[in-house]
């Protein structure tokens, strides 16, 4: 298993989506497989005081570090999205796979494929793309966005107090400046961003 993830810039990711959506698919998933919250609105629930359009979610793992994977999970019905755990030791070399299930299950949890700031950027890109897709599909809901990003920080208090983790937490609490910068960045290819 590769431990190198190639990130896709938000503009490029959005260009890919806008081009592919013309063929009625996103990331190879046909629109008939998209979860439409208005067609299946009886399964919603409330979690942490927020409305979820579906109780279905995607479990944290390497796949939930990348924006396109998070968006894919959301398109197919995941509304409770567990983001990959971040930690201060974001440059360790860990043999992969880090889960061995041949006899007893053994999980070497200290793996992280992206640096903390890159994880934040991927999560933010996914958040923005999901809001754009909600806008494009007309999936507006007075109850809110209908999904939750559940973040996880590890693995000890000493690590959580490190500057890179504290910066990650600060940005996750208030990403408004980053959101505004990304809105300006994508406005030329998605002018309707002002309505999102």
Mean pLDDT of 163-179: 97
Q: In the predicted model, is pLDDT for residue 95 greater than 90?
A: no
Helix residue ranges per DSSP H, the chain: 10-20, 67-75, 116-137, 157-160, 163-173, 176-186
Rounded CA separation 53/44 (Å): 4
The encoded tokens of residue 20 equal: 């592919």
Residue 39 in any domain: the answer is yes
Mean pLDDT of 153-163: 89
Residue 183 in any domain: the answer is no
Give the per-residue pLDDT at 182. 98
Rounded CA separation 88/97 (Å): 20
Residue 98 in any domain: the answer is no
Calculate the CA 156 to chain-centre distance: 24
More confidently predicted of 151 and 110? 151
Give the per-residue pLDDT at 93. 65
Residue 16 in any domain: the answer is no
Residue 19 in any domain: the answer is no
Query: Starting from the edge strand earliest in sequence, which strands make up the sheet with 148-150, in order?
Result: 57-58, 80-82, 148-150
More confidently predicted of 91 and 71? 71
Rounded CA separation 116/130 (Å): 21
Q: What DSSP state is assigned to residue 174?
A: -
Rounded CA separation 28/66 (Å): 16
Please state whether the predicted TM-score (pTM) of the whole model is above 0.85: yes
Give the per-residue pLDDT at 17. 98
Q: What DSSP state is assigned to residue 81?
A: E
Q: Count CB neighbours of 22 within 10 A.
A: 7
* Ranges 76-80, 93-97, 168-172, 192-196: which has the least confidence: 93-97
Residue 194 in any domain: the answer is no
Q: Which residue, among 121, 123, 145, 125, has the nearest Cα to 135 in the 3D structure?
A: 145
More confidently predicted of 126 and 99? 126
Residue 32 in any domain: the answer is yes
Predicted confidence (pLDDT) per residue in 101-142, tens digit:
565 555 555 567 889 999 999 999 999 999 999 999 999 888
Domain that holds residue 35: 26-88+116-160
Predicted confidence (pLDDT) per residue in 6-35, tens digit:
899 999 999 999 999 999 999 999 999 999
| Structural domain count of the chain | 1
């Amino acid at each position: 298993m590769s431990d190198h993830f190639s990130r896709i810039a938000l503009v490029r990711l959005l260009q890919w989506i806008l081009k592919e959506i013309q063929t009625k698919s996103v990331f190879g998933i046909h629109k008939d497989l998209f979860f439409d919250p208005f067609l299946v609105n009886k399964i919603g629930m409330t979690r942490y005081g927020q409305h979820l359009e579906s109780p279905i979610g995607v479990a944290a793992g390497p796949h939930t570090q990348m924006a396109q994977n998070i968006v894919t999970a959301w398109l197919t019905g995941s509304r409770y999205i567990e983001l990959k755990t971040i930690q201060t030791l974001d440059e360790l070399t860990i043999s992969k796979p880090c889960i061995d299930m041949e006899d007893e299950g053994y999980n070497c949890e200290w793996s992280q494929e992206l640096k903390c700031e890159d994880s934040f950027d991927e999560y933010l890109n996914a958040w923005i793309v999901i809001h754009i897709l909600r806008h494009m599909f007309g999936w507006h809901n007075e109850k809110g966005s209908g999904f939750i990003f559940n973040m996880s920080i590890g693995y000890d208090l000493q690590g959580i107090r490190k500057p890179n983790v504290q910066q990650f937490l600060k940005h996750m609490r208030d990403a408004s400046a980053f959101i505004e910068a990304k809105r300006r960045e994508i406005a030329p290819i998605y002018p309707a961003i002002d309505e999102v």
